[in-house]
Structure 1
Amino acid sequence: MGWGRTLLLGDIGNRLDIEDTEREIGELKRSMRGAFRKDMSQDEKIEALIADNAELKLYLASLVRLLVKHGTIAPEELREIVEKVDAEDGRIDGKYGGEML
């Protein structure tokens, strides 16, 4: 590819250069399509995680309300324990990454 091919082969060299360039463009297009598909699959995974999280919140809220309704735990007691568990990792940030029990 390049001026040497053109100098030695003339139009044939030019055509070979064009074919090489077209092949490279095709490879780049395929690569970009693959990256786009990867992004789409990441978006789909994120959507699935969001849906799973919403469902978990639904079940947790239902369970907590059921426990409060039946008098198993008082709302204040639940708030206190949530605050204690939240602080266990050294940060009060509304998150917990430790062991369940």
Structure 2
Amino acid sequence: MGWGRTLLLGDIGNHMDIEDVQANVGHLRGRIDAMRSRNQQRSTDQDAALAEAHRRIEELEGEVDDMMLYITGLAELLVTDAGVPRAKLQQLVGAVDREDGPPQA
């Protein structure tokens, strides 16, 4: 109502306008705080998911390292105990490496 309150009610109208503005500011402040809280929660959830992904990657990298040790051990057993020529194993490894592309650093 603004100017109408001031004309009809004078100082009381001004106080009513000020109270309305304060109420609107309080309402907007509450909405901003709620949005900030939701954004913080979303960020926290994303951080937790990212931390879990990093943990899982580290776990998988450890498993890959273990598998490489097993494969290397099995290859040595094939050469030493089963009589498989080392050149044949090297050909197999070379073929797999070519298929995978150049080694990653």
- State the TM-score, normalizing by the size of structure 1: 0.72
Partner of 1:68: 79
**Distance change (3 Å), C-alpha of 1:84 and 1:50:** closer
The residue identity in structure 2 corresponding to 1:24 is M
Change (3 A) 1:39 1:17: same
Structure with higher helix content: 2
Which 4+ runs in 1 deviate beyond 6 A? none
Query: Identity of counterpart residues, as a percentage?
Result: 15
TM-score of the aligned structures, taking structure 2 as reference length: 0.70
Number of positions where the alignment pairs a residue of Structure 1 with one of Structure 2: 88
Deviations 1:4-38 (A, max 9, x none): xx888221111111111111100000010011011
The alignment partner of 2:54 has SS state of helix
C-alpha distance in 1 between matches for 2:96 and 2:69: 21
Match of 1:81 in 2: 92
Q: Which has the larger radius of gyration?
A: 2
What 5-or-longer segments of structure 1 have no aligned partner? 1-5, 95-101
Q: Given the alignment of the two structures, is residue 10 of structure 1 paired with residue 21 of structure 2, yes or no?
A: yes
Alignment of 1:1-101 (within 5 A): 9-86=20-97, 89=99, 93=102
Pairwise CA RMSD: 2.5
SS in 1 for 2:84: coil
State the alpha-carbon separation in 2 of the partners of residues 46 and 92 from structure 1: 22
